[in-house]
Amino acid sequence: MKYRLILMLWVVFAIEINAQNDESVFIKEIFDNALTNQYAYNNLEHLCKFAPGRLVGSENSLLAVEYMKQYFENLDVDSVYLQEFTTPVWKCDSSSVFILSSADKPIMLHCDALGPSPSSQSEGITAEVIEVKSLAELEKLGREVVSGKIVFFNRKWDHTFVRTFEGYGNAVDQRSRGPEKAAEYGAVAVIIRSVTNSMDHFPHTGNTHFTDKKIPAVAIGTLDADLLSEHLIKDSKAKVRVFVDAEEIPEAKTYNLIAEFKGKEKPEEIIVIGSHIDTWFNTQGAHDDGAGVVMTSDVLRIFKELEIENKRTIRVVIYMDEELYQSGGKAYAKYVKGAGEKHYLALESDGGAFTPSMFTVDGSVENVRGIARFLEYLEPYGIDKIKAGWGGVDIGPLKEMKVPLMSYGTDSQRYFDLHHSANDTFDKINLRELQLGSGCITSIIYLIDKYGIE
């Protein structure tokens, strides 16, 4: 009896080892396909060159959606369709910032408006400038000092943060909440130091939140911020002129794009993968987030070419409007809830197409453990951890329906050099890193679909 038990254990062990070996071989097939095809790369080149500045409501945002819709139709997926919804939209035609000095000629700074900044009057807003490093410092000054002035938020990026997303989180409040707070104290406009760890003249835009009074708000390059600060030290009464020509439309029609392969065994269980196709008006949006769009879309191509029989429905959602109002993710979650669909898992890619690093999981302890067991298959291709963490902005609204969320993470050291700026162009994309991203996302989706996350 003892020997029979030992034999049975050896048989089970041998079966498990063979299964692991077979799976490793197939994962290599997935990566072989990803690393020898340029479909994702070519799609991204098209989006960047023919539909840059894809902010929600723009003509290029619709051109980009139509291009990806045709791609899926040519791929002959089981279904591809547009999900229509309405949202406010904002557009900026131009903006400028000049330092005015009685001793020198006006100095033009590199700037971009924050969304949804209102317009200034046609001649711009000219006023003295108050430089602050934080919202708390602004509050301490109070209305008596701030009223009628332009507030200049100039807190520098803390370079001691090793993970750049933590550095971004530490600095971004002056952009996201600074203009609203300055308006409360009577400021007439706001200038912010771009939220980036790079030192250059590229302004990095982004959204800012207004609940009541709106005032013109712009970002300037980090070198420009240093220049403005130096001028204020020399002349505390120096004035600046801020000009913004922008328009906000209360409601407009736009679309998410959905494409999928139906599951062969459990079609009612849906695995969602996706990214946002919109970009800011000032950029091609190569890493943020055109790369995410083409890498997640590549999953369906690889599944088709390798003839993978997916158990569950694999659905790609290309979201509109992550950058400005986050309306696409909300619209999709509302659609899911209304249709009574069961989502098994949602994965988002919104960290650029740099070297693969990790997957993070926003779910139960069991979800994290269940997905982390696939790490051994992905380690040879650059994924060094699967751990609890962030899910994503667009898939975030699905969390209230108890859907486990995932995010694909890359080496982020260069990400905020480009983020929300005119510097985020197609030439910054490395083909090999993009292909590895397609392979990593396809592999984890294949493993989750086949073995589940429990």
pTM over 0.85: yes
Specify the pLDDT at position 104: 76
Domains located in the chain, CATH noted:
26-78+262-451 (3.40.630.10), 94-246 (3.50.30.30)
Give the three-class secondary structure for 425: coil
Asked whether the beta carbons of 218 and 103 are under 8 A apart, the reply is: no
99-103, 136-140, 171-175, 385-389, range with the lowest pLDDT: 99-103
The Cα–Cα gap between 407 and 308 comes to: 23
Supply the pLDDT for residue 4.
Answer: 61
What digits encode the pLDDT tens for the residues 166-212?
Answer: 999 999 999 999 999 999 999 999 999 999 999 999 999 999 999 98
> Is residue 6 very low, low, confident or very high in pLDDT (cuts 50, 70, 90)?
low
Average pLDDT over every residue of 303-329: 98
Using DSSP's 3-state secondary structure scheme, residue 448 falls into: helix
pLDDT of 434 > 80? The answer is yes
- pLDDT tens readout for residues 404-426: 999 999 999 999 999 999 999 99
CA-based angle 67:70:73, to the nearest 5? Answer: 155
Q: Is the pLDDT of residue 253 over 50?
A: yes
Contacts of 428 (CB under 8 A, 6+ apart): 286, 287, 418
Tens digits of residue pLDDT in 170-182:
999 999 999 999 9
